[in-house]
Amino acid sequence: MSLLQTTDIRRNYGNLPVLKGINIRIEPGEVVSIVGASGAGKTTLLQILGTLDRPDSGELRIDGQNVFTLNDRQLAKFRNERIGFVFQFNNLLPEFTALENVCLPGFIAGTAESQVRERAHELLNILNLRDRTDHLPSQLSGGEQQRVAVARALINQPAIVFADEPSGNLDSRNAEELHQLFFRLRDEFGQTLVIVTHNEHLADLADRKLVIRDGMVIA
Ligand SMILES: Nc1ncnc2c1ncn2[C@@H]1O[C@H](COP(=O)(O)OP(=O)(O)OP(=O)(O)O)[C@@H](O)[C@H]1O
């Protein structure tokens, strides 16, 4: 069974059809890029795949769960436990340290504090942030902040991670480092990732590239 499967997902904004019947499958351990012109519907699709938005019609299964049959509370719990997110602007909480930011989704999930902290340290080590655990976001470089956001996305061992323009705000060296990190997570941990990007190099490095045009997957 695929890790993620959509059936005829449609989404309109008012009378503007933005997604016109999306059918995709994503297999465990794949890095899939989503590309397409501005306004093609990439972010709208990613928001729906990440269960942050509901489609007007169609079905989404993640890890065997038909997610839009869940009510909002059940869906929020599913999202917290099974899905990780990395956004262009990392949304780290400015008054919390790197370690605390990484721990937060683990605490929300109700996992034992000692277990969450242990895993957060482990992730920060893996992401080469061992010396940055007690820094506030403002005391970190853009690349470091984004790696903290990746650690936060991984704290609950999600089935899948969605990233929307994750390197859009980074210089080319930091962007390249972040891209290498995504592939390391795939290779070392079998992590599944779906990445919306305008970065052609990253899009081409992915195991598979989905091209969205005018609300449809054309390749
Ligand atoms: N909340 C909203 N209300 C109304 N229209 C919206 C809303 N969000 C997106 N749209 C419209 O839906 C279409 C698709 O937007 P979306 O953000 O998904 O495109 P995109 O492919 O991610 O573009 P970009 O590469 O510029 O980020 C656009 O025409 C956009 O104006």
Q: For 4-93+157-217, which CATH class?
A: alpha beta
Q: What is the ipTM of this complex?
A: 0.94
Average pLDDT over residues 180-201: 94
Question: Is the CB of residue 203 less than 8 Å from the CB of residue 166?
Answer: no
pLDDT band at 219 (very low <50, low <70, confident <90, very high): confident
Average pLDDT over residues 195-201: 93
Query: How far apart (Å, rounded) are the C-alpha atoms in residues 117 and 205?
Result: 33
Q: Is the pLDDT of residue 90 over 90?
A: no
1-31: per-residue pLDDT in tens?
899 999 999 999 999 999 999 999 999 999 9
Query: How far apart (Å, rounded) are the C-alpha atoms in residues 65 and 63?
Result: 6
**Ligand 1 pocket member 214 (CB < 6 A):** no
Instruction: Judge residue 71's burial from the number of C-beta atoms within 10 Å of its C-beta, 0-12 exposed, 13-18 middle, 19 or more buried.
Output: exposed
Share of the chain above pLDDT 70, in %: 100
Can you say how many angstroms the Cα of residue 219 is from the centroid of all Cα atoms in its chain? Answer: 21
Q: Is the pLDDT of residue 147 over 90?
A: yes
3-state SS class at 22: strand
Q: Is the pLDDT of residue 209 over 90?
A: yes
Residue 175 is predicted with a pLDDT of: 92
Average pLDDT over residues 88-110: 94
Residue 61 is predicted with a pLDDT of: 98
Question: Best substitution site from 43, 49, 200, 211 to test ligand 1's pocket, by max atoms within 8 Å of Cβ?
Answer: 43
Which residue owns the Cα nearest ligand 1 atom 3?
13
Kindly report the average pLDDT of the chain as a whole number: 95
**Ligand 1 pocket member 210 (CB < 6 A):** no
Closest ligand 1 atom to the C-alpha of 165? 27
pLDDT band at 89 (very low <50, low <70, confident <90, very high): confident
